């Protein structure tokens, strides 16, 4: 059971089979399948149930092609960083 601690309401599945891209300061690191659940009261969304093994990793030669196929298919692709500092560092490297 998954509970929204703000609303004390049980979370509900929103999307099964979404994709989650772990990000590093150099860009995408790996992509895993997972699910998105949400709170029907406040709208909080949570990524859960990540697969044990990624479908592709950054060192695989077809990483970018695989990622682009997911984007082109219309599937949800959520990028996530380990913490805010890492996200900001990555942004600094890519923004002028």
Give pLDDT tens digits along the chain (96 positions): 999 999 999 999 999 999 999 998 888 899 999 999 999 999 999 999 999 999 999 999 999 999 999 999 999 999 988 777 777 766 665 544
Give 56-64 contacts, CB < 8 A, sequence gap 24+: 56/30, 56/31, 57/29, 57/30, 58/24, 58/26, 58/27, 58/28, 58/29, 58/30, 63/28
The reported pTM is: 0.83
């Amino acid at each position: 059971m998954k509970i929204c601690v703000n609303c004390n309401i049980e979370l509900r599945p929103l999307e099964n089979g979404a994709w989650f891209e772990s990000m590093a300061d150099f860009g995408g690191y790996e992509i895993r399948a997972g699910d998105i659940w949400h709170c029907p009261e406040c709208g909080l969304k949570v990524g859960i149930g990540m697969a044990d093994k990624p479908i592709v990793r950054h060192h695989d030669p077809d990483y970018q092609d695989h990622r682009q196929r997911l984007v082109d298919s219309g599937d949800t692709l959520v990028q996530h960083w380990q913490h805010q500092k890492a996200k900001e560092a990555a942004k600094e490297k890519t923004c002028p």
